[in-house]
Amino acid sequence: MRLNRLRMLNFRQHAETEIEFDSGLTGIIGPNGAGKTTILEAVAWALYGGDTARGGKESLRFARALPRAAVRVELDFELAGHRYRVVRGLTMAELYLDGAERPIADSATAVAELLQRRLGMTRNEFFNTYFTGQKELAVMASLSATERGQFLSRVLGYEKLRAAQDLADVRRRELRGEIAGMRSGLPDRDLVAAIARVNGQSEAAVGEYERLGLPVVAIGSPLPAAIPRTSSTRSGAKRSQAGRN
């Protein structure tokens, strides 16, 4: 979140004040009672409304303003790639997005709830971290180690990283299951290799049969009535008969 501009009209010590925030750190210097803390209260009141500022609604009005003078705070800020402008008064609130002319929320409750969701923290969380008044730093110390870790994890956005890791783990398990299913549907690797060897030997045998002029009979086909004898087979038979004599 980056603040761009803050305008206060009849808000506590500020009759009409406008502040432009440059990039980097901004220091607010002044004597006690000059309205330094009021600037921070105006930011918080613009975002959350309600009792974020000290005292009741009427105590917000500038002391020298007319009884029915308007009290208004306007805050321009950037968040997650968008530009917001919130305008809040004692009985109204409007929230504008990216320079639009019509508000995306137009009531005190709707504006507060929408900004709380966009900011990702409640009013109390905001006041205990980004907005910490004098003598209020003990709030963090009062939390247990587990509570402090969970709170800072949520404020700093670590919860989103943890959620992304959980989704990645779920997807990894799903992919492992899909791969195991695909592997179980494939034929056995050793069986495929044995069939390939048999096919190779069969092709070699067929080639030898054809070289000798013998008929090749497919499995399941009827045997031929007679097998022709070639000259090579006859000469082989004669040599075998002469050996016996």
DSSP state of 72: E
Residue 84, pLDDT score: 97
Given a contact cutoff of 8 angstroms between Cβ atoms, the answer to whether 114 and 95 are in contact is yes
Q: What is the CB neighbour count within 10 angstroms for residue 220?
A: 5
- The answer to whether the predicted template modeling score (pTM) of the entire model surpasses 0.75 is no
d(CA 211, CA 245): 30
Residue 223, pLDDT score: 46
The whole-angstrom distance between residue 229's C-alpha and the CA centroid of its chain comes to 80
Mean pLDDT of 185-202: 67
**Percentage above 70 pLDDT, the chain:** 65
Q: What is the CB neighbour count within 10 angstroms for residue 59?
A: 10
pLDDT in tens, 90-127: 999 999 999 999 999 999 999 999 999 998 888 877 77
Mean pLDDT of 188-205: 66
Residues 6 or more apart from 58 whose CB is under 8 A from it?
A: none
Q: Which phi and psi (to 5°) does residue 38 adopt?
A: -60, -35
The token pair at 89 is 């008064």
Residue 198, pLDDT score: 66
d(CA 223, CA 125): 92
Mean pLDDT of 9-36: 88
